[in-house]
Amino acid sequence: MIVPGSASQSLAAALADELDRALAPVEFERFPDGELLAAAPEVETDSAVIVASTITSDAHLELLQLQDALRESGVSEVTTVLPYMGYARQDSAFEPGQPVSVRAVARAVSTGTDRVLTVSPHEESALEHFSVPARAIDGAGVLADPLPDLSDPVFLSPDAGAIDLAETVRESYGEGEVDYFEKTRRSGSEVEITPSDVVVEDRDVVIVDDIIATGSTMSGAIATLEDPQRVFVTCVHPMLAANARTKLARAGVEQVYGTDTIERAESEVSVARPLAEALRSL
């Protein structure tokens, strides 16, 4: 049985379809004091898969509640799918006294599950913080699917760390050059991007990243491009927080694409199939 978190209802339904499993009825309520209640009534199964992107603190709480409710209903095997794992970018105490948030949430999630499956975590090292078996799949494999026909394409990643994603998209698309920018982060919403060497004049450019959060990285990268034909941006996790869409539109982006690890209007492609394959092989 597939049990959706409130932020992953479409993906959970697509996954239930792929796996030919039932979709659990879930209920989400909020009490007058602001506290949440996520419940999974009528679940009668030995094995359940919770699909819950932890895109907010509330979504984290809901996940812990669903895990608890399933255990309480007698489900003996609980798999937790985190299509997007929140708090994973705080993977170090960057200043004295700061938490390693990724570790804190991984520990909490581990208490109510037998295993974890996630999609393109910020760093693979996030998996080490779970005390149950944890695995990640690469969400970039589906990112080429919605791209239009491109003219002499260049696939760029905004930093060296995302070059594998750009290569994966280029590989799936079937042609094009791959390069990357150098990025220095100045603050949570400010980045400095050094241009890539590749000549983009009159060519279609696709910039590929794991996540678009504030849009600063993407818009900073686009500003360095000299006379491209069209610019597309694509990412696994289309967080698109605050004024990210405005930044991208002002930067001249033709189209933004993302997957349904975070359900947005830009979620043009689903990770349901690769997730289903991974779940079948567990």
Residues of this chain that bind ligand R5P (CB under 6 A): 158, 161-162, 191, 209-217
Smaller CB separation from ligand R5P, 31 or 94: 94
Tokens of 197: 């060497």
Segments of the chain assigned E as strands: 2-4, 27-30, 36-39, 47-51, 77-82, 115-119, 134-137, 154-157, 177-180, 182-187, 190-194, 205-211, 231-237, 255-259, 267-269
Of the candidates 191, 145, 198, the residue with the CA atom closest to the CA atom of residue 176: 198
Segments of 17-137 assigned E as strands: 27-30, 36-39, 47-51, 77-82, 115-119, 134-137
Smaller CB separation from ligand R5P, 91 or 114: 91
Smaller CB separation from ligand R5P, 14 or 244: 244
Q: Which residue numbers are catalytic?
A: 183
| Minimum distance, C-beta of residue 191 to ligand R5P, in the bound complex (Å) | 6
Residues 6+ apart with CB under 8 A from 264: 238, 240, 258
Could you give the CA distance from residue 182 to residue 172 in angstroms, rounded to a whole number?
A: 24
| Minimum distance, C-beta of residue 243 to ligand R5P, in the bound complex (Å) | 11
| Minimum distance, C-beta of residue 166 to ligand R5P, in the bound complex (Å) | 12
| Minimum distance, C-beta of residue 236 to ligand R5P, in the bound complex (Å) | 10
Smaller CB separation from ligand R5P, 217 or 261: 217
